[in-house]
Each structure stands twice: as structure tokens, then as C-alpha cells.
Amino acid sequence: MISKKIELLVGLFVALGIAALMFLALSVASSGMSGSGETYNLYAKFDNIGGLKVRSSIKVGGVVVGRVEEIKLDTEDYAPVAKLAIDTKYNNFPDTSSLSILTSGLLGEQYLGLEPGFIDETVGILGEGDFIEDTKSALVLEELIGQFLFSQGSE
């Protein structure tokens, strides 16, 4: 018969293992399990999404309010359409809000900056499935350099 002490230590070992898994799952990969709150979907059409990816974050004034859920190409005018999943806590954006693709730092990853617009009685509130009309595309460095060189050359 094995002693109580060994059983206790084995139990402790298994508990430590579960604790390690929880630590890794929850605090190291936070978006893995804890990011499953209630969300609603908005859509936005861009000319060019640059380096935006699925799961890129959407920020209002630097605070993450949601994530990009899907990126696909509109088959009519071949413009990229991003499907955004936004936390239902923030469900009061007017449809004059604008979206722009920004970069965190010089080499950082790209995210969507959402700028809430003005509200008056003619302005509706964005709800499930609406399109955000006012979008600014990603800055593509090569195009920027090209424009700069072009304007230099024409002087």
C-alpha cells in the first residue's frame, strides 16, 4: 500500500500542472480564451488594408474595443472588406465615425483606429451589420516614397 504522503505529493504535482496550463492559457495567451465576450459585427471597406490581419486590434483612443474577425475581397469592385467584432459594451458609435489603419511604432504591427464622430438628431447609431463609410487606407511606404520622388522630379 502506498503512503498518504506520496498520494498527496502526486496530487500536488497534478495541481501544479493544471495551474501552469491555466497560467499559460490565460495570462500568456490572453486572446485565446478570455477574449470570448459578447461582440457585434460592423463592416468597413478599404482601398488598401496594408498589413492588417485577422485578429488585429481595433482601438479607440488607444483602448482595445474589438478585433478584426475576417478580411475578404468584395467580388463586385474588388475592394477589401474587413469584418469587425466589437465588444457589446461599446455599442454607441455614431455612423459618422471614421476608421483608419494605423501602425504602432515604426516597425510595429498595424491596427485599426476608430474615431467616434459627432452626434446630432440626423445621425444614426451603428448597429449589427452596418458599414462604416468613412475609412482611410493604410499608408504603403513604397507608394509614399514614389509620390515623394514624383513631386521632387516635377519641380
Partner 1 sequence: MDWIQNLGKNTIERFSAIGRASFMLFGAIVAKPNFVKGFPLFTKQVYVIGVLSLVIILVSGLFIGMVLALQGYTVLVDYGAEDSLGQMVSLSLLRELGPVVTALLFAGRAGSALTAEIGLMKATEQLTSLEMMAVDPLRRVIAPRFWAGVFSMPILAMLFSSVGLLGGHLVGVEWLGVDQGSFWSIMQASVEFEGDILNGIIKSIVFAIVVTWIAIFRGYDAIPTSEGISQATTQTVVQSSLAVLGLDFVLTALMFGS
125 binds partner 1 (CB under 8 A): no
32 binds partner 1 (CB under 8 A): yes
The identity of residue 17, as a single letter, is: G
CB of 74 to partner 1, least distance (A): 28
Give, rounded to a whole angstrom, the gap between the first and last alpha carbons of the chain.
93
Of the two residues 30 and 147, which places its CB atom closer to partner 1 in the complex?
Answer: 30
C-alpha cell at 89: 459594451
Of the two residues 25 and 149, which places its CB atom closer to partner 1 in the complex?
Answer: 25
DSSP helix/strand/coil, 29: coil
Mention every residue, 6+ apart, whose C-beta is less than 8 A from residue 99: 44, 112, 113, 114, 115, 132, 134, 135, 136
What is the Cα–Cα distance from 12 to 73, expressed in whole angstroms?
Answer: 52
Stretch that binds partner 1, among 14-22, 71-79, 91-99, 130-138 (CB under 8 A): 14-22
Interaction pattern, residues 84-113, with partner 1; x per rule: CB under 8 A: -----------------------x-x----
The answer to whether 69 touches 85, Cβ cutoff 8 Å, is yes
Of the two residues 55 and 146, which places its CB atom closer to partner 1 in the complex?
Answer: 55
Instruction: List binders of partner 1 among 68-87 (CB under 8 A).
Output: none
Residue with cell 507608394: 143
Q: Which residues bind partner 1 (CB under 8 A)?
A: 1-2, 6-7, 9-10, 12-14, 16-17, 20-21, 23-25, 27-33, 57, 107, 109
